Amino acid sequence: MSSGVIVYKTKSEIEQQRESSLLVGKTLAEVASHLKPGITTLQLDTIAEQFIRDHQAEPSFKGYHGYKHSLCISVNEEVVHGIPGSRVIMDGDVVSIDCGVFKNGFHGDSAYTFPIGVVSEEVLNLLRVTKTSLMQGIAKARNGNRVGDISAAVQEYAESFGYGVVRELVGHGVGRNLHEKPEVPNYGKRSSGPVLKEGMVIAIEPMINMGPRHIRQLKDGWTVITLDRLPSAHFEHTVAITDSMPDVLSSFQEIEIAITKNKNITEVISTIV
**CATH number for the domain that contains residue 241:** 3.90.230.10
Residue 170 inside a domain? The answer is: yes
Q: Which of 173, 209, 169 is nearest to 186 (CA)?
A: 169
Pairing mode of beta strands 164-165, 247-248? unpaired
Encode pLDDT of 95-117 as tens digits.
999 999 999 999 999 999 999 99
Q: Contact at 8 Å (CB) between 163 and 210? A: yes
How many percent of the chain have pLDDT more than 90?
A: 96
Question: Per the domain annotation, does 24 fall within a domain?
Answer: yes
Cα–Cα distances (Å) from 211 to 67, 77, 158, 214, 241, in that order, read: 29, 10, 11, 8, 32
The C-alpha atoms of residue 63 and residue 162 are separated, in whole angstroms, by: 37
Could you give the number of structural domains in the chain?
A: 1
pLDDT > 70? residue 136? yes
Is residue 271 predicted with pLDDT exceeding 80? no
Residue 273: inside a domain, yes or no? no
Say if residue 260 is exposed, middle or buried (CB neighbours under 10 Å; 0-12, 13-18, 19+). Answer: exposed
Going by pLDDT thresholds of 50, 70 and 90, the confidence category of residue 4 is confident
In a domain, 89, yes or no: yes
* Contact present, 192 and 173 (Cβ < 8 Å): no
- Please state the rounded mean pLDDT for residues 184-205: 98
- pTM of the complete model: 0.97
Query: For residue 268, is it within any domain?
Result: no
Q: Is the pLDDT of residue 119 over 50?
A: yes
Give domain status of residue 271, yes or no: no
pLDDT at 268: 87
Confidence of residue 3 (pLDDT cuts 50, 70, 90): low
- Is 75 within the bounds of a domain? yes
Percent with pLDDT over 70 in the chain: 97
Q: Does some domain include residue 266?
A: no
Decide: 99 and 55 in contact? Cβ < 8 Å.
Answer: no
Q: What would the pLDDT profile of 18-42 be if each residue is shown by its tens digit?
A: 999 999 999 999 999 999 999 999 9
Q: At what angle do helices 41-54 and 11-34 cross, to 10 degrees?
A: 140
Q: Which domain holds residue 146?
A: 11-261
**One-character DSSP codes across the chain:** ---SSBPP--HHHHHHHHHHHHHHHHHHHHHHHH--TT-BHHHHHHHHHHHHHHTT-EESSTTGGG---SEEEEETTEEE-PPPSSPBP-TT-EEEEEEEEEETTEEEEEEEEEEBSS--HHHHHHHHHHHHHHHHHHHT--TT-BHHHHHHHHHHHHHTTTPEEP-SS-EEE-SSSSSEEEEE-SS--TT-SSBP-TT-EEEE--EEESS-S-EEE-TTSS-EEETT---EEE-BEEEE--SSS-EE-S-SHHHHHHHHH-TTB---PPPP-
